[in-house]
Homo-oligomer: A and B are copies of this chain.
């Protein structure tokens, strides 16, 4: 019997680690997850995830593991390392791709989570058939993955595509990166909360989800906070177009799910600020991937993309 190829996709987050087995058609046959906090030692993480993957594989004797793709904050495609990720417990340089390659016995590749998501959209989602697009993840922060000419843009050192750290307001809000005024301090779930608190001049704790629910009930302050978020993002993306001239932006993640509440002002600001040579050429698309599956699919796409 011919064995069908399978790829392991692993998404490393600050809170959870999700892993799954993915077919060449982008179907997740099975998956699981664990709390990241359980693994202060990286070696234990690799051993545990590897054991789980081998266990899962036993249920699919007609399939064969051919590779492993990993999405992780500050994951570097060129070196195979996680490098100085501020939100992970493992400090410094962690050679995660080579650790998994040894443990699993198959080719293992890493990149950052937004890059992985961009590949996932290109192979299995809204960006299918596109050669030039920018994926924007709107979650706690703002991540981006840039595809040009059908390939992920890595830059000379693997760190291209960090639009979240564009300084859009010099001297503005403090950012986790140590500087001020970065795009993600305005356009992210965290940024939305800050904007809302500024508008309402309150210190009372509130979540992005609560602001969304208030906006659904036509709360003026909540609607205004979303409007400002969309305006700021629209200008930044219009500027990004002048760099790589993409066909589309694809939006993924919690804040993107707010739909027209954020996209109405985003679209207006984007078109208003777009240079005439790009007008009416650039589509704003929502991810078509299930939010829970996108990260694992994206990670697995690192391998499937080279087998296409």
Chain B contacts for A178, CB-based, 8 A: 276
Q: Are B177 and A275 in contact (CB under 8 A)?
A: yes
A2-10, A158-166, A197-205, A256-264: which lies at the B interface? A158-166
CB-contacts of A113-140 with B (<8 A): 131-132
How far does the Cβ of A243 sit from chain B's closest Cβ, in whole Å?
5
Q: Are A275 and B243 in contact (CB under 8 A)?
A: no
- A156-B247, A166-B239 are known; give 6 further A-B pairs, CB within 8 A: A74-B277, A132-B156, A149-B154, A154-B245, A156-B245, A161-B245
A selection of 9 A-B contacts at a CB cut-off of 8 Å is: A84-B277, A132-B155, A146-B243, A157-B245, A158-B245, A162-B243, A170-B273, A179-B273, A240-B243
How far does the Cβ of A140 sit from chain B's closest Cβ, in whole Å?
18
Question: Does A307 touch B at the CB level, under 8 Å?
Answer: no
Q: Are A177 and B276 in contact (CB under 8 A)?
A: yes
Convert A227-245 into 0s and 1s, putting 1 for each residue whose CB lies closer than 8 angstroms to a CB of B.
Answer: 0000000010011101111
User: What is the copy number of this chain in the assembly?
Assistant: 2
Residue from the list B148, B149, B166, B275 in contact with A162, Cβ < 8 A: B275
Q: How many angstroms from the CA of A132 to the CA of B74 in the assembled complex? A: 20
Give the interface of A toward B (CB within 8 A): 74, 83-84, 131-132, 146, 148-149, 151, 153-163, 165-167, 170, 177-179, 235, 238-240, 242-247, 273, 275-278, 281
Chain B contacts for A170, CB-based, 8 A: 235, 273
**With A235-B170, A239-B167, A275-B162 given, is the CB distance from A246 to B179 under 8 Å?**
no
Q: Are B278 and A160 in contact (CB under 8 A)?
A: no
What residue of chain B has the Cβ atom nearest to residue A269's Cβ? B170
Chain B contacts for A240, CB-based, 8 A: 243
**With A163-B242, A243-B163, A277-B84 given, is the CB distance from A156 to B131 under 8 Å?**
yes
Chain B contacts for A149, CB-based, 8 A: 151, 154
How far does the Cβ of A146 sit from chain B's closest Cβ, in whole Å?
7
Q: Are B235 and A167 in contact (CB under 8 A)?
A: yes
5 tightest A-B contacts by CB? A155-B245, A132-B156, A160-B245, A162-B242, A156-B247
Chain B contacts for A166, CB-based, 8 A: 239, 242
How far does the Cβ of A217 sit from chain B's closest Cβ, in whole Å?
31
Residue from the list B74, B243, B281 in contact with A157, Cβ < 8 A: B281
How far does the Cβ of A93 sit from chain B's closest Cβ, in whole Å?
12
Chain B contacts for A159, CB-based, 8 A: 245, 277-278
